[in-house]
Amino acid sequence: MANTKKPANRKARQAAEAAAAKAKAEQEARDRRNQTIIGAVVVAIVVILVAVIGFNVWKSNNPSANADDLNAAWAKVEKASPKPANATDKGGFILSKDGVNKPVDGVPTVGVYMDFMCPGCGSFERSMGDTFSQMVDAGQINLEIHPNGFMDRYSTDEYSTRTANATIELMENDNDPDHILKFISLMYAEDFQPSETSYKSVSDDDIKQQMIAAGVSEDVAAKATDNDYQYKDWVTAMADYTPLRSELWNTEGSLKGQMTTPTVTFNGKYWNRQGLDSSVDTRTAFLKAIGLDSAQVGQSGTLPEIGSDKGPLYP
């Protein structure tokens, strides 16, 4: 009896082993497929995340002219409170021979968008500060100052926003353009302007002392630097809105399609400083662009060629 059952038992065991081997192989195949699917999903997620991060980085460096973005940013400017009474509708402050927010008719309006941390702005001011003062005093230009808080990330104490706010408070409370222009000059002095690469804290009292040195009264200087940062919300909103204005973007070079500082406009029209001949110094280029001889700077009654409506003549 035992001998007759062994073959059947062997066949049964072999069949069971074969079934088990098949089931194992099928399970391993399913596991491999699942791992492949999971791997593909993970890779896809990583690719999507990289793309999203890359787009956001690109977008932060390449502001969009999308109307919705622009309108949303402007809505924040409108919502900010309080607003400086002397600001133009684009956030500038006009200095003329007649005072603050008192433009002279028939002369060019030169707009300067700046940040007190910006090294390029410092270089530009050191080249143009005296010329601007002479031309404003002589009634040859209106100078529209746009102090901005673009570069807070380079300081540990919101230097850009604090200095922009202090300048605005000054222009709201001191009607003497000479005081304001002298203050700007002192803020950009090489022995005062902090480095964007190795920032050392500049206190509000340090800023106050620069105002006093510019001829500003102690009361006005104290109010402008009293730590309440009256226009901080407005400055912050303007720092988001201004770079979205495509009329201020570079039109050539590696930074084409982006706003950089300083940005200069003539009667609201962009001055393409990227296209200037490197052999021409900043002052000479500016006078060539506005249409005025060097010897005519500061001469009352002698006006730049571009008048009150034309854009730059050079480059």
Structure confidence at residue 64 (pLDDT): 54
Average confidence score pLDDT of the chain: 89
Structure confidence at residue 11 (pLDDT): 66
Whether the pTM exceeds 0.95: the reply is no
- Give the model's confidence band at 186: pLDDT under 50 very low, under 70 low, under 90 confident, else very high: very high
Report d(CA 215, CA 217) in Å as an integer. Answer: 6
Higher pLDDT, residue 41 or 243: 243
State which fold the 74-296 domain adopts: Glutaredoxin (3.40.30)
> At 169, is the secondary structure helix, strand, or coil?
helix
User: How do beta strands 142-147 and 109-114 pair?
Assistant: parallel
**How much is the average pLDDT of 259-278?**
97
**How much is the average pLDDT of 195-203?**
97
Report d(CA 147, CA 168) in Å as an integer. Answer: 8
Q: Cβ contacts of residue 74 below 8 Å, gap of 6+?
A: 241
Number of other CB atoms surrounding residue 62 within 10 Å? 14
Structure confidence at residue 144 (pLDDT): 98
Higher pLDDT, residue 154 or 44: 154
Structure confidence at residue 27 (pLDDT): 78
Residues of the chain with pLDDT > 90, as a percent, come to 79
Q: Strand order of the sheet with strand 99-100?
A: 99-100, 93-96, 142-147, 109-114, 263-266, 269-270
Q: What is the pLDDT of residues 14-72, one digit of tens each?
A: 666 776 777 777 777 777 776 766 665 555 554 444 443 333 434 444 555 689 999 99
Least confident of 45-54, 140-149, 220-229: 45-54
**How much is the average pLDDT of 235-263?**
97
Least confident of 9-23, 97-111, 148-162, 259-273: 9-23
- For the chain, the structural domain boundaries read 1-61, 74-296
Structure confidence at residue 37 (pLDDT): 67
**How much is the average pLDDT of 75-98?**
97
